[in-house]
Amino acid sequence: MTRRLDLAMLLVLTFSTGMVDAIGYLGFDKVFTGNMTGNVVILGMGLAGAEDTPVLRPALALVFFMVGAALGGRILGRIGEEWHTRTTTIFAGVAIGCAGLAVYVALMPEPEVGLAGTFFTSVLSALMGAQAAAARRMKIADVTTVVVTSTIVGLASDSRLAGGDSVRWIRRALAVFLILIGAVAGAATLMINQWIGIAVVALAIAVVAVIGHLAARKRALAEAAEASVHA
């Protein structure tokens, strides 16, 4: 049951990644803040001199994502795959950071222009890096929350059409579907106002942090009660 709950929470985070990537790419000069593969490709094209292809923001997004992931790894330390207080700390911090960015975008006259836009994409990338580090530590197969290419490969290569047994096809299909729907939602919020999508992302991550923390606390109390019975 615990692993199913972890899977559900990571799928919610996958949806939020679709949102932030759509917002970054469409609203902030073609920058992916969650999917670093996209940034590496864009950066390569920009360095080759492709017209209207940015270099600075994708490069900074890549650097800050790595910084966020490194910081997340440092906070997590040597904890196992089960939800820990440190996991709550990271997800809560990411949610608060996204909420702060939503306020920043709402108050800034032109948040996508110049230094303001670069600041936004860099900070959001750092937050997504920390989130990805925490999600990776939970070790749910096929759900990394930030990329679905390997998930799609597994979905196709292990399918019955390919002679496989379609193992974990439901979670794989859901991961692909949710990042797609997240991108649709992120693009839709841009038609209203840029801050709305980031606020939705902050809310989604906050919900995951609360649910995960409460579930871990419940599990710890149950284990303590069982231990006292056998003592």
Sign of the torsion angle spanned by Cα atoms 204, 208, 10, 129: positive
Query: What are the two backbone dihedrals, phi and then psi, of residue 108, each rounded to the nearest 5 degrees?
Result: -80, 125
The tokens describing 148, both together, are: 């679905």
What string of pLDDT tens digits covers the 231 residues of the chain? 468 888 999 999 999 999 999 999 999 989 999 999 989 999 999 999 888 889 999 999 999 999 999 999 999 988 878 888 999 999 999 999 999 999 999 999 999 999 999 999 999 999 999 999 999 988 888 888 888 888 888 889 888 888 888 788 888 999 999 999 999 999 999 999 989 999 999 999 999 999 999 998 888 787 777 777 766
- Domain total of the chain: 1
The pLDDT, as a whole number, for residue 230 is: 66
Residue 152: closest CA among 137, 172, 126: 172
Which pLDDT value is given to residue 147?
Answer: 82
What number of other Cβ atoms are within 10 A of residue 77's Cβ?
Answer: 9
Domain that holds residue 138: 2-230
| CATH number of the CATH domain containing 30 | 1.20.1250
Instruction: Report the Cα 77 to chain-centroid distance in Å.
Output: 20
Inter-axis angle of helices 194-230 and 85-107, to 10 degrees?
A: 170
Residues 23 and 159: beta-carbon distance below 8 Å: no
Residue 59 makes CB contacts below 8 A (sequence gap 6+) with 43
Residue 57 CB-half CA count within 13 A: 25
| Residue whose C-alpha is closest to residue 136's, from 219, 65, 59 | 65
CA dihedral of residues 172, 29, 112, 71 (deg, nearest 10) = 50
- What's residue 2's pLDDT? 66
d(Cα 72, Cα 136) in Å, to the nearest integer? 10
Q: How many CA atoms are closer than 13 Å to the CA of 131, on its beta-carbon side? A: 38
With tokens 């999917």, the residue in question is: 35
Q: Which amino acid is at 43?
A: L
pLDDT at res. 231: 61
How many whole angstroms separate alpha carbon 176 and alpha carbon 4? 18
Token readout for 202 is 């902050």
